[in-house]
Structure 1
Amino acid sequence: MPTYTYKNLKTEEIFEVQQRITEAPLTVHPETGDPIKRLVSRPGIAFKGSGFYVNDSRPARSESSSAD
């Protein structure tokens, strides 16, 4: 289940809530009833290492390999 980050618009508190993707975003704080807003955050995935780019997945071509 994804975790979403919310910001309390009155107190500036930032907190996280686990919700299903199909659920509507919250508009009020679950405990205080203050208005809140869902924040956009970076995804929790990073592609590191070789093999993720076109030039990494193909063998290097040799410019000097021409037929004599």
Structure 2
Amino acid sequence: MPTYEYACVDCGQHLEVVQSFGDDPLAVCGACGGRLRKVFHPAGILFKGSGFYSTDNRKGSRTAGDGPGSGKAASGEGSGGEARSAKEPAKETA
């Protein structure tokens, strides 16, 4: 049977009650006689397995020089922009 948590609107007292699915929800606080409301919590997440990235989308291990901000691409070498402009001769108009 599931455990439900209730909170009193008036006094703020929290209580946990084991109820079956067919039972009616509690409505009256036992301490002050105020109105009770159910408290909902998000479901817990449990990751199982040898690791999050070991079998998913990661391709090999990164070293210090393999990052996105290092190497030829960051310095502009090999990006293709300068290479194309250097290879194309300037067009002359007569």
Category of TM-score, reference length = shorter chain? 0.5 to 0.7
Higher helix share: 2
Quote how far apart the aligned CAs of 1:47 are: 2.6
Match of 1:38 in 2: 38
Quote how far apart the aligned CAs of 1:50 are: 2.8
Query: Superposed, which structure 2 residues align to 1:2-17 within 5 Å?
Result: 2-17=2-17
Tell me the amino acid that sits aligned with residue 10 of structure 2: K
CA distance in 2, matches of 1:42, 1:20: 20
Quote how far apart the aligned CAs of 1:12 are: 0.8
CA contact (8 A) 1:6 1:16 kept: yes
Larger RCO (CA under 8 A, 6+ residues apart): 1
Match of 1:47 in 2: 46
CA distance in 2, matches of 1:2, 1:18: 6
Match of 2:18 in 1: 18
**Number of residue pairs aligned between Structure 1 and Structure 2:** 54
TM-score normalized by the length of structure 1: 0.57
Please, which runs of 5 or more residues in structure 1 have no aligned partner?
A: 58-68
CA contact (8 A) 1:4 1:17 kept: yes
CA contact (8 A) 1:27 1:37 kept: yes
- Give aligned-pair identity as a percent: 24
CA distance in 2, matches of 1:50, 1:42: 22
Q: Could you say what the CA RMSD is over the residues aligned between the two structures, in angstroms?
A: 2.7
